[in-house]
Chains A and B, each alone.
Chain A
C-alpha cells in the first residue's frame, strides 16, 4: 500500500527529476537541431598550426 501522491509510481520529488532528465534531453535535441548547421567555419592559421603540433604530440604517445 503506497501512501501519498505518486506520479508514474514515484514520489513527486523523484518523478520531477525523472521528467527533468527527459526534458533536459529534449532541450539538447531541440538546441542541436536548431543549430545543426550553425557555426561552421574553415580552419584558419591557428587551427593548422594546432593540428600539426597535435600530430607531433600523438606520435610521442
Chain B
C-alpha cells in the first residue's frame, strides 16, 4: 500500500510544532498552574480546547465510533451524558468545590485529595494503587486506537504502527509532555475540533444531507436484523429491544459505565484544580459543550452512517467490511471514503486526541506511584531523589504495561468481534465510578461521611467490580478464565443448554451482560451511607478546615 505523502508531511509538521511548544513550556512558565497566579490572561478558547483534548481520546472517536457502527445511534445517549453530566453537571457542581477544597487542603492528585479530605493515608494509597494498576488498561486502548489509525492509513502492520506511536509518546513524555502545557493541549484540541467537523460535513454531503443520510441508514435496518436480530438489534436508528443482550451491552456498559464514570476520572478531576477561578469553569462549560458535541456526537453519527457507505460500496455492513474488527471501522471508513487530504488531517487529529489524553494519564499514573504511594508510605517530601525515582519507575512500568496491553488485546479479542477499545474504556470508567464516585461526591457535599464509611464504600465498589469482572460479566470472565478453572464454566450466571453454556435470564435481565457498574456502584453508595451512620464522625475542626470557603 502506498503511504500518503500528505499524511507524512502533516504528521511530521504536527510533531515539530508539538515539540516546539513542549520545549517552550518546558523552559518557560506556561503551565496551567502558572497561569492561575501569574495574572496572565489566557483566552477561554485555549482553556476549553485544553480540557477537551484531555477528555476526548482515540478511545471516544475510534473505539466508540466503531461501537456506533455496530450498535447504532443509540450511542448518542452517551454523548448526551458526556455533555450534560460530564461537562454541565461536573463543572458546576463538582468543579468549583474541588478547586476550593483541593487548594485549601493543598492536594495535587485525586488520591491525595480524597486522602486529605478523609484524613486517611489508606484511602490515598488504595486510590493510587487502583490508578496505577488499572489505568494502563485505559491508556492501552487509547494507544491501540492511535495505532489502528496509523495501521490502516499508512498501511503499516499493527505492531509496527504501535511501536511507532509508542516511540512518539515516549519522546513526548521525555520532552516535558507531562507538564500539562496549556498551548500543546490547546493545539491538539483545535486540530481535533477542525478534523471532526470536516468529517461530519463530508459524511453528510456524501449521503445527500442530514435527513437523507439518516433515512438511508434507517432503510438498511433489515441488514442489522438479519445478522444481529436475535441479540436485539433493530437497526442503527433505533435502540435495541429492551432487555436483550445488545440492550444490556449498550446501556449498562457503554452508555452508563462511561457516562457516569467520567465524573470520577482522576486525570479530569485534577483539571478543576488548575483553573484560576469559577469564572474559568463557567467559560469552559460554554466551549466544552460545543467541543464534546463535535467529538463524540460526530464520531457516533459518522460511525453509524458508515454502514450505508460500506454497504453501498461492498455489499457488507461496516462490521463485516472490517472483518469484525470493530476498532478498524472508523480508520477504514476515513481511509477508503474520505478525500485523501481529509484522511491525512484526521490521522493528525487522532494522533493529537491520543497524545493529549495519554500524557494526562501518565501524569496521573506517575504521581500515583511517586506522590500517592511512595511518598505517602515513606513520608518522603516531594522533590526527594527517591520520590523522583519512584515517579519515574512508575511511569516506565505503566508505559510498558500500557503498550503491552495495546499489543496483546487485539490478538486475543479482535476475531471475536468485540469492541475492545470501548470495552476497555468502559471497564476503567466503571471501576472509577464504583470505587471513587460515592466518596468523592460525599467529600464535596456532606460532612456526614465518616472515614470508615468512605473506606468501606470504596472497597465495596472495587471488590464487587473485581468479582463481577472475574466471575459474572462473561466477556471478561471468559477471557480471564479464572471462573472456568475454579467452577468449570465461563460465568457463574450461565447454565448448560444442549451441551453449551447459555446465559441465565431473569425476566429482562441477561445476567452475564449486566455491567459491574450496575451492581457495584449502588452497593458502594449504600455501604458508604450505612457505615457512615454507625461509625464515628470527624471532629468539627477537621470538617471546618476541609469546607473552608465552601458554602454549606
A28/B103 in contact, CB under 8 A: no
Q: Are A10 and B283 in contact (CB under 8 A)?
A: no
CB distance from A16 to the nearest CB of B (A): 9
Cβ-neighbour of B211 out of A8, A47, A49 (below 8 A): A8
Please measure, in the bound complex, the distance between the C-alpha atom of A13 and the C-alpha atom of B292, giving whole angstroms: 21
On chain A, the residues within 8 Å of B87 by CB distance are 28
Cβ-based interface call for B61 (8 A): no
Q: Is the CB of B83 within 8 A of A24?
A: yes
Cα of A21 to Cα of B78 in the assembled complex, Å: 9
Instruction: Tell me whether A29 and B273 are in contact in the complex, defined as CB-CB below 8 angstroms, given that A10-B73, A40-B279, A47-B36 are known contacts.
Output: no
The minimal Cβ–Cβ distance linking B31 to chain A, given in whole angstroms, is: 6
In the complex, residue of chain A having the shortest beta-carbon distance to the beta carbon of B278: A39
Kindly report which residue of chain A lies nearest to residue B107, judged by CB atoms: A50
Residues on the A chain within 8 Å of B210, using CB? 8-9
Closest to A11 in B: B238
Supposing A10-B218, A25-B289, A50-B106 touch, asked if A38 and B80 sit within 8 A by C-beta, the answer is no
Q: Are B238 and A14 neighbours in the complex by a CB distance under 8 Å?
A: yes
Q: Is the CB of B273 within 8 A of A50?
A: yes
Docked Cα-Cα span, A20 to B255, in Å, equals 15
Give the nearest-CB partner of B280 in chain A: A39
In the complex, which residue of chain A has the Cβ closest to the Cβ of B72?
A: A14
Return the CB mask of B441-478 against A: 1 if under 8 Å, else 0. Answer: 00000000000000000000000000000000000000
Given the contacts A24-B289, A29-B289, A39-B282, A59 and B80 also touching, CB distance less than 8 Å: no
| CB–CB A43/B238 < 8 A | no
Q: How many angstroms between the C-alpha atoms of A51 and B92 in the bound complex?
A: 23
Q: How far is the CB of B272 from chain A (nearest CB, A)?
A: 12
Report Cα–Cα, A31/B287, bound state, in Å.
11
Q: How far is the CB of B551 from chain A (nearest CB, A)?
A: 13
Known pairs A28-B88, A39-B96; list 11 more (Cβ under 8 Å): A8-B214, A10-B237, A18-B76, A24-B293, A28-B286, A36-B286, A38-B278, A41-B278, A50-B273, A54-B108, A61-B391
Chain A residues in contact with chain B, CB under 8 A? 1-2, 6, 8-11, 13-14, 17-18, 20-22, 24-25, 27-29, 31-33, 35-41, 43, 46-51, 53-61
Binding site for A on B (CB under 8 A): 31, 33-34, 36-37, 72-74, 76-77, 79-80, 83-84, 87-88, 92, 96, 102-104, 106, 108, 178-180, 210-219, 235, 237-239, 273-274, 276-290, 292-293, 297, 363, 366-367, 370-371, 382-383, 387-388, 391, 395, 549
Interchain residue pairs with CB less than 8 A apart (13): A9-B237, A10-B73, A11-B237, A14-B74, A25-B289, A28-B289, A32-B286, A40-B277, A43-B36, A50-B33, A58-B179, A60-B382, A60-B387
